[in-house]
Amino acid sequence: MKNLHGSFLPVLAAILMWGAAGAASGDESPFKSATFCHGLLDSQAPKDKAEAFYPDETIYLSVELKGRPKTGKVATQFLFRDNVIAEAEVDVAAVNKGILLSAGQNTFAGFNLTHDQPLPVGDCYSAVVTLDGQPLGTFPFRVSPPKDAIVSELKSVTLSKGLDDKNQPVDVTREFDTKDKVVFSGIADLGLGTWIEVGWVLGGMTDSEGTRSITLKENKTGCPFRFSFIPNGGWPAGTHEAVLLMNGREVSREKFTIKNGPALTQTVETTSFKLSSDDGRGGPGTTVSAFTPQDKVLHAGWELKQPTMVKGIRFVWTAIEAGSAKDQVIATATIPSTIHQSISTTLKAKNGLPKGKFKVELFQDERLVDGRTFEVK
């Protein structure tokens, strides 16, 4: 099973023109409309309006402004879910320079989104349009399944502790222990291009480490699927949820209970700290009390008091006094929200660090959890 995200490389182009349209309005906002379409006229006005596109189609968007503004930048961001996948902007001054405002003519900005791989199917897309940084609107669109795709439909789901040699669920239950692997399996009709994704919600927060998805490359009826997960540090006590999405829409939310796990907290408390040299593969190796200028990869890590749903974590590496640097931040890093029993950060120094005194700090939101000084000798 592989993650869906990053499976396409979109490119957004923008062109701005003026052309005949309705009379300019006296409204303060120059914005008139934003229209998705299958193509653009030479004026960048919409051609063949559309609300949906097939996965291999180019997405076109025509933004119409009233009259011929002499200044301003029209920008568009294309989003998949809440992630920006492409953006571009055009300057209205470049096309309207030296042209007198003429009643009955408007300005069109044309944007087109191209991509090397088919776009994921779903209603999870939008375009955010701004003028000089001020929002003009958010406009949704969808990517439809390919023409020859069958209708996707969830048939059944099961939670269990495992699967047998025929991939059938065994120990079907809704109650698990802290070290149990929870298996989410089911049957569905899945059409070409359909993607399904499971997320695990613990204490009201999704553990991003457990999110997995698969995309169908052919039509399959009665198709079995399965996902499994156990958080780092084990399941905390309480009631949690496994949430199944199909093409971005929730189709199942299954609750289960952990009775014997540790209490879940979101406040980071540390019990120990260590510095480590690199193991040659990008991971922590031998524990050290100081580094040398020959160390190109430096590791710092903390053990936590109990499994914690880590959120808002930031690491800061600072040169206190090293070479010509004094109290200078040299690197920062964050980690995704997920359950941790320990947390760590890595500093990569291409030419090594100069001899001197440094510190690495662990923050949760704006709270300093711990800070440690070390030397490069």
Q: Which domains does the chain have, with CATH numbers?
A: 10-143 (2.60.40), 153-258 (2.60.40.1930), 270-376 (2.60.40.1930)
Sign of CA dihedral 338, 342, 348, 353: positive
pTM summary value: 0.71
Return the pLDDT at 187. Answer: 96
Q: Which tokens hold the place of 178?
A: 């802290």
Distance CA 138, CA 52 (A): 16
Distance CA 77, CA 12 (A): 9
- Amino acid in the structure at residue 37: C
Return the pLDDT at 20. Answer: 38
Distance CA 93, CA 239 (A): 58
Each residue of 7-57: pLDDT tens digit? 334 555 666 554 433 333 344 778 999 999 999 998 889 999 999 999 999
Residues 273 and 300 sit within 8 Å (Cβ to Cβ): yes
Q: Which tokens hold the place of 114?
A: 């191209």
Q: Which tokens hold the place of 201?
A: 């919600």
Question: Closest Cα to residue 346, out of 286, 282, 303?
Answer: 282
Return the pLDDT at 261. Answer: 79
Question: Closest Cα to residue 158, out of 184, 132, 180, 130?
Answer: 184
Does the pLDDT value for residue 95 go beyond 80? no
Residues 260 and 367 sit within 8 Å (Cβ to Cβ): no
DSSP letter (8 states) at residue 262:
P
Higher pLDDT, 265 or 267: 267
Strand 31-40 and strand 46-49: the pairing is: antiparallel
Return the pLDDT at 43. Answer: 85
Each residue of 127-139: pLDDT tens digit? 999 999 999 999 9
Distance CA 274, CA 301 (A): 6
- Amino acid in the structure at residue 166: K
82 by Cβ neighbours in 10 Å (0-12 / 13-18 / 19+) ranks as exposed
User: What SS3 class is residue 280?
Assistant: coil
Return the pLDDT at 97. Answer: 56
Strand 249-258 and strand 238-246: the pairing is: antiparallel
- Which residue intervals of the chain are DSSP H helices? 92-96
Q: Which tokens hold the place of 137?
A: 């609107």
Return the pLDDT at 10. Answer: 54
Distance CA 294, CA 289 (A): 15
Distance CA 63, CA 110 (A): 6
Order across the sheet with 182-190: list the strands: 169-172, 153-163, 182-190, 220-229
HSE-CB for 40 with a 13 A CA cutoff: 27
Instruction: State the CB neighbour count (10 A cutoff) for residue 320.
Output: 15
Share of the chain above pLDDT 90, in %: 64
Does the pLDDT value for residue 102 go beyond 60? no
Sign of CA dihedral 62, 67, 70, 71: negative
User: What SS3 class is residue 210?
Assistant: helix
